[in-house]
């Protein structure tokens, strides 16, 4: 009875040693790339200065999606 409990409480290193398995290899820390916010802001600003119509296109697309969604809701629920 007590032998089964010790297996449940036993740590991984001790269990691996008892099973004859070599210790687990240490994993390397994954280094995330650092983002340069100033460079990204500069690229976005130069793109917007080069193509000033982009914000209008985004706003127009958002308004069209909103109108289309409202039309779909009205049509599917027969509100009108």
For 33: left if phi > 0, alpha if psi spans -120 to 50, otherwise beta; the answer is beta
Range of weakest confidence among 3-12, 26-35, 58-67: 3-12
What confidence tens digit (pLDDT) does each residue in 41-73 have? Answer: 999 999 999 999 999 999 999 999 999 999 998
Percent of all residues in the chain with a pLDDT value above 70, rounded to a whole number: 85
What is the tally of structural domains in the chain?
A: 1
Judge whether residue 1 has pLDDT over 60.
Answer: no
Judge whether residue 24 has pLDDT over 60.
Answer: yes
Residues spanned by the domain of 69? 2-25+34-77
Confidence of residue 6 (pLDDT cuts 50, 70, 90): low
Are the C-beta atoms of 22 and 16 separated by less than 8 Å?
Answer: yes
């Amino acid at each position: 009875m007590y032998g089964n409990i010790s297996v449940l409480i036993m740590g991984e290193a001790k269990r691996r040693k008892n099973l004859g398995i070599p210790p687990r290899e240490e994993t390397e820390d994954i280094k995330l790339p650092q983002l340069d916010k100033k460079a990204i802001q500069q690229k976005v600003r130069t793109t917007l200065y080069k193509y000033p119509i982009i914000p209008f296109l985004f706003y127009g697309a958002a308004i069209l999606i909103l109108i289309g969604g409202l039309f779909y809701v009205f049509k599917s629920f027969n509100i009108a």
